[in-house]
Structure 1
Amino acid sequence: MNNVPCKFIVTIRPKEGWQVYSSAQDADGRCICTVVAPEQNLCSRDAKSRQLRQLLEKIQNMSQSIEVLNLRTQRDFQYVMKMESQMKGLRSKFRQIESNRRTLLTKNFQELKGKMNELQPLIPVLEQYKTDATLISQFKEEIRNLSLVLTAIQEEIGAYDYEELQQRVLGLEGRLRNCMNKLTCGKLMKITGPITVKTSGTRFGAWMTDPQASPKNNKVWYMDSYTNNKIVREYKSVSDFVSGVESRTYNLPFHWAGTNHMVYNGSLYYNKYQSNIIVRYSFESGRVMTQRALESAGFHNVYPYTWGGFSDIDLMADELGLWAIYATNQNAGNIVISQLDPLTIQVLNSWNTEYSKRNAGESFMICGTLYITNSHLTGAKVYYSYSTKTSTYEYMDIPIHNQYFHMSMLDYNARDRALYGWNNGHQVLFNVTLFHIIQTDDES
């Protein structure tokens, strides 16, 4: 499908390359990406490193060969030097004999002179050996220097100690994963879109995916209308949803109220019609697992959003868990934020805001902060936010493009880092840009 938010995963097998993840856009519309290094050491496969290692091995082999040749040369050199000494002594004796040849027989003199003539050609050989020995010594020194240079280059490019390099890569990968975990939460800065996924149903309804599902699970659930309906349609993927290929249909035991339902960890959470009861319905078992009244919460258009439609109780989820947004008489009709236990639907903690529920167009949670739009019509913007972490509020001015003029559902999905919307019979997606502040003890 072409109409998807800025979220993609390009995966190259870990032994071959890097993994790139992106799930948001910056202020200029460019995708924000995270790169994860592969566990295997790519540097050991680098062509230049491999060529350098092969060259170094050849140099080492040459050095060993030169060493053997040098030993042989030294041995021959010693042998020739010994011969040189003998020749010099023989030449001296020959001169003495020649000066006093009268005392010797002619025959012996001739034999001695013949031996001297035989040894005479060895003199240039001796000189050549001296020259060769010097060249071999110089060549050996050059080989040693070249080996040192290659080793220094090898260490400089990081191809020397592979185990150490691999540990460094794994360490960096661990730090990168920690950084990615910290990047999951941030402050809302911009909303872009929408992307129209499909046009179907009435003016009012809800569609969603499960933020707790695995990356391979992309099921879509579709709930048309805000009342008088109990049918939930399931699709195996967004493409099946666009094509209208249903995989399963669920008939709920109770009608729902409003459009602010939530699928979370395999269960559907919704407001039971004409009550402040929250129902948890398991898709796997096909039955109600839990139902509990949200104490003091207004219902049946007592405290709805600006568009009405029994939207008194808004169920939503973010990176921190499951939430309920509603209003009470005790809080003068202003919005109350409650974090819920997903299994028991018990209230874990609550925060009272000073923003009127009836003046809110829609709202959604990101990282424990509630963001509220000032209208469900054209010109809407995120106008107010309340942080449950600091129990403080802030006025904002973040436009949201209401392309089809009437928003009856707007929910954040932490897995997709996108806002799912039902915009006057159009199922749309908005991309969000978050601002992150990364704090780490390791400043290196």
Structure 2
Amino acid sequence: MWLQVALLMSYLLLGSQGQERATFPRTNDRHGRCQYTFSVASPTEASCPTAGGGPEVEALKSRLMLLEALVSRLVGGEVGAVGAMPDPGLQEAYTQLMGEKTQLQREKERLDRQVQELQRRVEEQRLETERLLARPCQQPQPPSSSRQDQRPVSGSNILSRLVLGTGGQSDTGVVRDPAWQSGSPGYQELKAEVTEVPAPPQILEGSQGSTGCGELVYVGEPKTHRKADSFAGKYGVWMQDPEAVAPYGPKMLWRIDTVGTEVRQLFGYEDLDQLSRGFPTKVLLLPEPVESTGATMYRGSLYYQRRRSRTLLRYDLATESIASRRDLPHAGYHGQDPYSWGGYTDIDLAVDEQGLWAIYSTSKAKGAIVVSQLDPNSLEVKRSWETKIRKNTVANAFMICGRLYTVASYSAPNTTINYMFDTATGQSKGVSLPFRNRYGYNSMVDYNPAQRKLYSWDKFHMVTYDVRLGKPGAN
């Protein structure tokens, strides 16, 4: 025991040289024995740390962890902003989609080039057809001429020879030039177009102002006169009274923009020049709204269909009031039997050399076009004809000399007038007269018998077409 105390005292004396303070407390343990404890203060630590670090250390650790999380988040945001690498799967899918997009773009460009080439070929064939129509057919040789004169004529004229019938009279126009039998698709298509058009000697040249009637054999290129200046003019109708009466003269033109739920404004222009410049001389507010683009002008009155009904109205321009009204019996309306372009074109009113007409369909006709001639004063139906032409398969229709003509497409740049129905015989037939939709959305086509022109509304644009008719009695 005393030896242990001596050792402790030695350690105390030796340790006192390097320590500032040292203690040698004496206490009783739990058994009542005396126990000496030797303690030396640490030169670096104020107190002994606990095993877990203490609450202060734990709080410090928490703060450090939070700070590390914030720093990681900020560093991650910066990297993302600079451009973090995306997921490899997403990158591969994106690359594949961009490749497919490039291929589709190339395919679209190729198809566009093909369409342009086809349009160019069609335009060349149309010009060639016009040249052939404008050039008179070769007169047959008299019977006294020798057979050696029947050799093919050289040159660029593809209609170089006609087969002659007996008695020196020309046949119906069978072409014998070898070029037509060469098998070239271009020649075959041109041959089909030429054989469907009546022969040039039957065409009325300078037909403007003529009262003669015949079949339609030619429609010229569209001539643009004005473009509507608002969205309300995307669809519309414009017209000129073929039998104008006071107080308006024969040069007066009228226009209705038909986009809207309450179409009532009727604009009047003194002449074509004022229409082109956009200066109306008269603006009338119709008492009842207009339905679609089927209106027409005749003998000092505007004829139109009342909105959402089968009621026809005659608006007298002199008195500026409704002069007569009548329901068109059993006629479809407001989208029941429209043209293929839609627009609630169920009832289309038209004027030609024989008077006022209505082009529509009924529940009995089940979508087939019905043509009725109307009394211009009372709007009573005088006579009706039911055709076999489905109204919703054609883009538009008009009347010339008591004959109904239909347009095949409202959007194709180069389409045709494809059907004709003759009210005199009650017979219809297919035709193929070239017709152009220059602006790609033709919502109105009407004939003016005084001007011998077609009036059309093609996607904001007001255009006209010159026409030619066959000689009276030629058909």
Band the TM-score falls in, shorter-chain normalisation: 0.5 to 0.7
Q: Report how far residue 360 of structure 1 moved.
A: 1.3
Residue matched to 1:194: 222
Residue matched to 1:397: 432
User: Given that residues 370 and 386 in structure 1 are in contact (C-alpha distance below 8 angstroms), is that contact kept between their aligned partners in structure 2?
Assistant: yes
Residue matched to 1:28: 134
Q: Mind listing any 5+ residue stretches in structure 2 that lack a counterpart?
A: 1-130, 137-206
Which of the numbers 278, 301, 307 marks the counterpart of 2:335? Answer: 301
Q: Percent identity?
A: 34
1:324 is aligned to 2:430: no
Structure 2 matches for 1:51-70, cutoff 5 A? none
User: Given that residues 337 and 352 in structure 1 are in contact (C-alpha distance below 8 angstroms), is that contact kept between their aligned partners in structure 2?
Assistant: yes
Which of the numbers 454, 457, 464 marks the counterpart of 1:429? Answer: 464
Q: What is the alpha-carbon distance in structure 2 between the residues aligned to residue 234 and residue 216 of structure 1?
A: 11
User: Given that residues 209 and 450 in structure 2 are in contact (C-alpha distance below 8 angstroms), is that contact kept between their aligned partners in structure 1?
Assistant: no
Residue matched to 1:272: 306
Structure 2 matches for 1:38-437, cutoff 5 A? 184-200=212-228, 201=230, 202-213=233-244, 217-228=250-261, 229-378=263-412, 379-437=414-472
- Do the aligned partners of residues 433 and 29 (structure 1) sit closer, same or farther apart at CA in structure 2, a change above 3 Å counting? farther
In structure 1, what residue type is equivalent to 2:222? P
- Do the aligned partners of residues 246 and 211 (structure 1) sit closer, same or farther apart at CA in structure 2, a change above 3 Å counting? same
Q: Report how far residue 217 of structure 1 moved.
A: 2.1
Deviations 1:14-33 (A, max 9, x none): xxxxxxxxxxx994299xxx
Q: Report how far residue 424 of structure 1 moved.
A: 0.5
Q: Secondary structure at the match of 1:255?
A: coil
Deviations 1:266-307 (A, max 9, x none): 100001000000010011001000011001000001100011
Residue matched to 1:79: none
Q: What is the alpha-carbon distance in structure 1 between the residues aligned to residue 437 and residue 208 of structure 2?
A: 31
Q: Secondary structure at the match of 1:217?
A: coil
User: Given that residues 374 and 383 in structure 1 are in contact (C-alpha distance below 8 angstroms), is that contact kept between their aligned partners in structure 2?
Assistant: yes
User: Given that residues 226 and 309 in structure 1 are in contact (C-alpha distance below 8 angstroms), is that contact kept between their aligned partners in structure 2?
Assistant: no
User: Given that residues 191 and 400 in structure 1 are in contact (C-alpha distance below 8 angstroms), is that contact kept between their aligned partners in structure 2?
Assistant: yes
Deviations 1:196-215 (A, max 9, x none): 01111422001110011279
Residue matched to 2:183: none
Q: Mind listing any 5+ residue stretches in structure 1 that lack a counterpart?
A: 1-24, 31-178, 440-444
Residue matched to 1:62: none
User: Given that residues 227 and 257 in structure 1 are in contact (C-alpha distance below 8 angstroms), is that contact kept between their aligned partners in structure 2?
Assistant: no
In structure 2, what residue type is equivalent to 1:282? D
User: Given that residues 292 and 344 in structure 2 are in contact (C-alpha distance below 8 angstroms), is that contact kept between their aligned partners in structure 1?
Assistant: yes
Q: Secondary structure at the match of 2:221?
A: strand
Q: Report how far residue 246 of structure 1 moved.
A: 1.2
Q: What is the alpha-carbon distance in structure 2 between the residues aligned to residue 227 and residue 367 of structure 1?
A: 34
Q: Report how far residue 380 of structure 1 moved.
A: 2.4
Q: Report how far residue 227 of structure 1 moved.
A: 4.4
Q: What is the alpha-carbon distance in structure 2 between the residues aligned to residue 29 and residue 252 of structure 1?
A: 49
Structure with higher Rg: it is: 2
- Do the aligned partners of residues 26 and 280 (structure 1) sit closer, same or farther apart at CA in structure 2, a change above 3 Å counting? farther
Q: Secondary structure at the match of 1:322?
A: strand
Q: Secondary structure at the match of 2:436?
A: coil
- Do the aligned partners of residues 203 and 29 (structure 1) sit closer, same or farther apart at CA in structure 2, a change above 3 Å counting? farther
In structure 2, what residue type is equivalent to 1:248? K
Q: What is the alpha-carbon distance in structure 2 between the residues aligned to residue 371 and residue 181 of structure 1?
A: 21
- Do the aligned partners of residues 287 and 437 (structure 1) sit closer, same or farther apart at CA in structure 2, a change above 3 Å counting? closer
Q: Report how far residue 185 of structure 1 moved.
A: 0.8
In structure 2, what residue type is equivalent to 1:205? G
TM-score by length of 2: 0.54
Q: What is the alpha-carbon distance in structure 2 between the residues aligned to residue 395 and residue 276 of structure 1?
A: 30
Q: Secondary structure at the match of 1:380?
A: strand
Residue matched to 1:98: none
Q: What is the alpha-carbon distance in structure 2 between the residues aligned to residue 331 and residue 345 of structure 1?
A: 21
Deviations 1:197-256 (A, max 9, x none): 111142200111001127962001010024421000111111111111211111011111
Deviations 1:397-432 (A, max 9, x none): 111011001100000000000000000100000011
Q: What is the alpha-carbon distance in structure 2 between the residues aligned to residue 275 and residue 419 of structure 1?
A: 27
- Tell me how many residue pairs correspond in the alignment: 267
In structure 2, what residue type is equivalent to 1:354? K
Q: Secondary structure at the match of 1:400?
A: strand
Higher RCO (C-alpha under 8 Å, 6+ residues apart)? 1
In structure 2, what residue type is equivalent to 1:209? Q
Q: Report how far residue 182 of structure 1 moved.
A: 7.8
Q: What is the alpha-carbon distance in structure 2 between the residues aligned to residue 307 and residue 427 of structure 1?
A: 18
User: Given that residues 212 and 472 in structure 2 are in contact (C-alpha distance below 8 angstroms), is that contact kept between their aligned partners in structure 1?
Assistant: no
Residue matched to 2:30: none
In structure 1, what residue type is equivalent to 2:395? G
Q: Report how far residue 260 of structure 1 moved.
A: 1.3
Q: What is the alpha-carbon distance in structure 2 between the residues aligned to residue 180 and residue 257 of structure 1?
A: 31
- Higher helix fraction (1 or 2): 1
Q: Which runs of 4+ in 1 moved over 3 A?
A: 179-183
In structure 2, what residue type is equivalent to 1:206? V
- Do the aligned partners of residues 274 and 280 (structure 1) sit closer, same or farther apart at CA in structure 2, a change above 3 Å counting? same
Residue matched to 1:3: none
Q: What is the alpha-carbon distance in structure 2 between the residues aligned to residue 180 and residue 247 of structure 1?
A: 27
